Amino acid sequence: AARPTEQERAVDIHVAGVTKEFGGAAALHDIDLTVRPGELLALLGPSGSGKTTLLRIIAGLVEADRGHVFFGGLDATSLPVQKRQVGFVFQHYALFRHMRVADNIAYGLQVRERANRPPKAEIRRRTAELLDLVQLSGYESRFPAQLSGGQRQRVALARALAVEPRVLLLDEPFGALDAKVRKDLRAWLRDIHERTGKTTVFVTHDQDEALELADRVAILNQGHLEQVGSPDDVQDHPATPFVMTFLGQAARFSADIRDGRVLVNGKPVPVAAQRSTIGRASLYCRPWHLTPTAIGQGHYTGTISGIRRLGSIRRIEVSQANGTTLEVEVPLRTSLRLGEEIGLEILDGVIFRDD
């Protein structure tokens, strides 16, 4: 029979009811999460939200207080890390400094017990294949100190892949690199992922990185899973105010909902609300959900307190007498002056009930 492709062999990861406390403080609350076979899933959240803890529980490096972790439907909760067949890459490349690149990559195979160890020629062949995959052919005899940070992380990824892990777990793998290199490595990782088809969980606190790279994004906040969805899902349909504000600039307005109509400062906003929702709510608006209008028109009045150009559009900052400021996107050709008083009209937004 034909050897199954990696995609066919890729396993899903299922996290069920995982809870973890450190010294009485909850780091993860009752997390349920499924990573689909062959998927690249980003765990995204601010510092301290529990991303690394969840990744380490999946890996078997940290034990959950409650809950289970399944790989391909089999309960791995009590399996030690060595038995889980996971490949890791961490933020700070943990390459062996005294070993050449090729030996770093081959290490996981060379230390296997004799019965499971591939023959030397096979190890050499696989190492060459991985060097090619991470685009470092010709670097096999270098030592880690003779590589750039980005190259070291590519070696770390090749080393993680060498043992043919069932899943790949990456903890801020580009976190220590400068912005330009990080950006280059994003496209590169996406490409490697498509070629290997490994189920991959990727920790990042960088929204752009998660939204650009991942098939789906799982957003954590203070140990709670706020939302899991495609980059479009989480951006267009944020499940909570946290997700809305974490993924980008958002202004909050108090709103009244009556008969399915949303009112801000007594004026209707063209945003649909469920008919059953009545009473106070919050309307969150992105900079492109707002547009300048004449004073006294629109939903809001304020003074322009900042103007800056963002590529092909302009962002203006509008301050209200009470000190709140918000950002509005306008076309480049709009002529507006600092200090000018304007009205703002709300064109769109996302409604959340206040409770």
Nearer to ligand ATP, 24 or 296 (CB): 24
For 327-340, the DSSP string reads EEEEETT----TT-
Rounded to a whole number of angstroms, the minimum distance from the CB of residue 165 to ligand ATP is: 21
CA–CA separation, 40 and 73 (whole Å): 18
CA distance 10 to 131: 22
As measured in angstroms, the least distance from the Cβ of 64 to ligand ATP is: 12
| Residue 52 or 127 having the CB closest to ligand ATP | 52
C-alpha–C-alpha distance, residues 218 and 58, integer Å: 14
Q: Which of 287, 266, 263, 248 is nearest to 351 (CA)?
A: 263
Rule CB under 6 A: say whether 173 interacts with ligand ATP: no
Q: Please, what is the minimum distance in Å from the beta carbon of residue 39 to ligand ATP?
A: 20
Shortest Å distance, C-beta 55 to ligand ATP: 8
**Is residue 175 part of the contact set for ligand ATP (CB under 6 A)?**
no
Identify which of residues 49 and 301 has a Cβ nearer to ligand ATP in the complex. 49
Cα–Cα distance between 132 and 333 in angstroms, integer?
Answer: 49
Residue number, 50 or 144, with CB nearest to ligand ATP: 50
How many residues can be counted in the chain?
Answer: 355
| Candidate residues 10, 27, 89, 123; the one interacting with ligand ATP per rule CB under 6 A | 27
Tell the smallest beta-carbon distance from residue 212 to ligand ATP (Å).
18
Query: Which residue's CB is nearer to ligand ATP, number 23 or number 266?
Result: 23
Rounded to an integer, what distance in angstroms lies between the CA atom of residue 278 and that of residue 259? Answer: 7
Of 224, 198, 215, 222, the closest CA to residue 72 belongs to 198
Binding mask 191-210 toward ligand ATP (x if CB under 6 A, else -) reads --------------x-----
Q: Are strands 313-319 and 66-71 parallel, antiparallel or unpaired?
A: unpaired
Contact positions with ligand ATP (CB under 6 A) in 42-101: 45, 47-53
**Is position 22 an interface residue for ligand ATP (rule: CB under 6 A)?**
yes
Sign for the pseudo-dihedral over CA of 234, 239, 241, 242: negative
Pick the closer one to ligand ATP by CB: 15 or 255: 15
Which residue's CB is nearer to ligand ATP, number 48 or number 241?
48
Burial class (CB in 10 A: 0-12, 13-18, 19+), 58: buried
- Residues 6 or more apart whose CB falls under 8 angstroms from that of 234 comprise 211, 217, 219, 227, 243, 247
Which residues of this protein are in contact with ligand ATP, per CB under 6 A?
Answer: 22-23, 27, 45, 47-53, 205
